[in-house]
Amino acid sequence: MSELHINSFDIHHFTSRFGRELLNSYLKFLIAHNNYSYVAIDEEQNKFTGYLICGDKTEKSINLFIKNNFVKVIKLLLKNPIFIIEKINEIITKLIPLIGKKSKTEMRVFIIAIDNKYQGKGTGYLLLKALESDLIKDSISQYGLSVRKENKKAIEFYNKNLFKIEFENKKSIFYIKKLVVR
Ligand SMILES: CC(C)(COP(=O)(O)OP(=O)(O)OC[C@H]1O[C@@H](n2cnc3c(N)ncnc32)[C@H](O)[C@@H]1OP(=O)(O)O)[C@@H](O)C(=O)NCCC(=O)NCCS
């Protein structure tokens, strides 16, 4: 999963700067703390091609991960100072909720990533469908996610998959998708 993460996320994502070891524990941590995780596999090639992690504790799990790996994360920020202002803004927004809008939905896709050789072949769509089918079974009627504004491929993908914009801030677009629960 870490390898796939590194080859599918570009340098604008802070996690793309994590080394393999920190990324491994990050992904393990997120899967352990969130209820909906999926992988896609190319059975012919016996190859792991994509994954999706979703849950209603994404923020809590990131905060706990940072707390548990505080020194490593600080070292990484010092090595990549371009992310320092971004992280400070995130902290201020969390501390003073009136400054930053908050999504109405706690259930969030935290990461979706497809191996770059497999992108554009419907794998992301299948992962979303698997998630939505389980959310509907669990009577969850909406979920959300956010995407960085420069990630045009992903924005196009979410628009095609009928997500609606909930709000935007300087860095990201927040999307929400309603599900039909019978
Ligand atoms: C965004 C992402 C998850 C989409 O998954 P996917 O399996 O490639 O998408 P699908 O094949 O199901 O859907 C294809 C649509 O997504 C968009 N898209 C996905 N990959 C694309 C690519 N490599 N080039 C152009 N468009 C792409 C297009 O709108 C495309 O529609 P089209 O085929 O009609 O042109 C995948 O591209 C990815 O992992 N990107 C890198 C990681 C990332 O940015 N994750 C999202 C973070 S919020």
CATH number (domain holding residue 81): 3.40.630.30
- Is the CB of 128 inside a 6 Å radius of any atom of ligand 1? no
What does the pLDDT read at residue 95? 67
What does the pLDDT read at residue 98? 59
Q: Of residues 66 and 101, which shows the higher confidence score?
A: 66
* 125-168 per-position pLDDT tens digit: 999 999 999 999 999 999 999 999 999 999 999 999 999 999 99
- Is the CB of 156 inside a 6 Å radius of any atom of ligand 1? yes
The amino acid at 103: S
What does the pLDDT read at residue 121? 96
Say whether 69 sits in a helix, a strand or coil.
Answer: coil
State the maximum Cα–Cα separation within the chain, in Å, rounded to a whole number: 51
- Quick one: tokens of 13? 């994502």
The closest-lying atom of ligand 1 relative to the alpha carbon of residue 157 is 16
Q: Of residues 1 and 134, which shows the higher confidence score?
A: 134
| Mutation pick for ligand 1 pocket among 12, 58, 157, 159 (CB with most ligand atoms within 8 Å) | 157
Host domain of residue 121: 2-178
The whole-angstrom separation of Cα 141 and Cα 160 is: 19
- Report which protein residue has its CA nearest ligand 1's atom 19: 120
The whole-angstrom separation of Cα 116 and Cα 148 is: 18
Number of domains in the chain: 1
Whether pLDDT at 176 is above 70: yes
CA 120 to mean position of chain CA atoms? 18
The amino acid at 141: S
Model confidence, pTM:
0.89
CB distance 178 to 107 below 8 Å: no
- Is the CB of 112 inside a 6 Å radius of any atom of ligand 1? yes
Average pLDDT over residues 55-84: 88
* 15-43 per-position pLDDT tens digit: 888 888 999 999 999 999 999 999 999 99
Rounded to the nearest integer, the mean pLDDT of the chain is: 91
